[in-house]
Amino acid sequence: MQEIGEANITEAVLERFAETPDARLKEILDALVKHLHAFVRETEITFDEWNVAIDFLTRTGQISVGGRQEFILLSDTLGVSMLVDAINHRFPEGATESTVLGPFYVDNPPEFAQGFDISRGQPGEPLFVDVAVNGPGGKPAANVIVDVWHSDTEGFYDVQRTDLKEPTLRGRFRTDGQGRLRFWSILPSPYPIPDDGPVGEMLAATKRHPWRPAHLHFMIAHDGCETLITHLFVDGDKYLDSDAVFGVKRSLIKIYTKEAAGPAPDGRKMDRPWRMLTHTFRLAPAIVRKRA
């Protein structure tokens, strides 16, 4: 019988995985064992500390019910989500940068015609969005599916509210023949990620805040291109340098210009000041991912 101890436990575990038929699974498990064992050796973690860790992960799973996914939140706040995103989206120069999806995306949102106001009457500073989508070659991309969603003036998404009867501050659009998309909404606000669970305890224990800077989410899908998941952040937001999930990139910070009362670009007559966001997205060609 093999004598297993501190010096050879890692190799012993790796040997047990030696016959794993899926080569990629074996690669991942081998790396996990090596790094996890190295972590334990480096920190010389105590039994009490390991029990705290197990309890933390257990509670993280227990609170992940319904529309809440605490493990994604944990991944986000540890920077893992952004690292996975960066590794999987090494776009060519000139393509719009990606960032994290976030926990508030809803599959198959309602589709609206251009010019629709997704705020559906919610209070806030009116915002006119005028964006363009170009393909990898720089030409306008027509009939591209664009999903948008964002927070309200109080820092909540519609899925967090029980007083709304229909999807609000979110929707699906399609670009026109010139690759353009125009719609109305309200200016998004900064908001805290859910901090009433284990992840919030971790943030408090490490003196980190839970806030994300104000932004609009975009998911842009087009045949032959990599689906782009990104944000456009509001320039000047106080949380740009300390985003709780590390999602800010300089190229995604935009000026939401202040406009005076009067006619908007689509002819709408504004009786009060409003904001305007303009931007051109450039998609990357689809990435061929090869795995062992």
Average pLDDT, integer, range 91-118: 95
Closest CA to 155 of 189, 187, 186: 189
Whether 91 and 221 share a structural domain: yes
Whether 83 and 15 share a structural domain: no
Residues with Cβ within 8 Å of 162's Cβ and at least 6 positions away in sequence, in order, are: none
Whether 16 and 151 share a structural domain: no
Give dist(CA 89, CA 103) in Å, integer.
Answer: 19
Whether 83 and 189 share a structural domain: yes
Task: Kindly state the percentage of the chain with pLDDT values over 90.
Answer: 92
Beta strands in the chain (DSSP E): 126-134, 145-150, 170-174, 180-186, 191-192, 211-212, 215-221, 228-234, 253-254, 257-259, 262-263, 269-270, 274-282
Average pLDDT, integer, range 103-132: 96
Closest CA to 96 of 190, 278, 232: 232
The percent of the chain in helix, strand and coil, each rounded to the nearest 5, is: 25, 25, 50
Average pLDDT, integer, range 277-284: 98
Average pLDDT, integer, range 58-80: 93
Q: Assess contact for 175 and 146: CB atoms under 8 A.
A: yes
Average pLDDT, integer, range 264-280: 97
Average pLDDT, integer, range 109-129: 97
Question: Is the per-residue pLDDT at 246 higher than 70?
Answer: yes
Give dist(CA 99, CA 256) in Å, integer.
Answer: 19
| pLDDT computed for residue 66 by the predictor | 81
Q: Which of 88-92, 204-208, 216-220 has the lowest mean pLDDT?
A: 88-92
Q: Assess contact for 119 and 112: CB atoms under 8 A.
A: no
| pLDDT computed for residue 67 by the predictor | 74
Residue 288 — very low, low, confident or very high, per pLDDT cuts 50/70/90?
Answer: confident
| pLDDT computed for residue 290 by the predictor | 64
> Model confidence over 137-184: pLDDT tens digits?
999 999 999 999 999 999 999 998 889 989 999 999 999 999 999 999
Does some domain include residue 66?
no
Does some domain include residue 69?
no
Does some domain include residue 98?
yes
Is 71 strand, coil or helix?
helix
Split into its structural domains, the chain has a count of: 2
Does some domain include residue 289?
no
Provide the residue range defining the domain that includes 39: 1-44
Whether 157 and 84 share a structural domain: yes
Query: 233 is written with which tokens?
Result: 């952040």
Average pLDDT, integer, range 253-282: 97
Whether 144 and 104 share a structural domain: yes
**Considering the entire predicted model, what is its pTM?**
0.92
Average pLDDT, integer, range 2-22: 95
Whether 37 and 80 share a structural domain: no
Average pLDDT, integer, range 33-41: 98
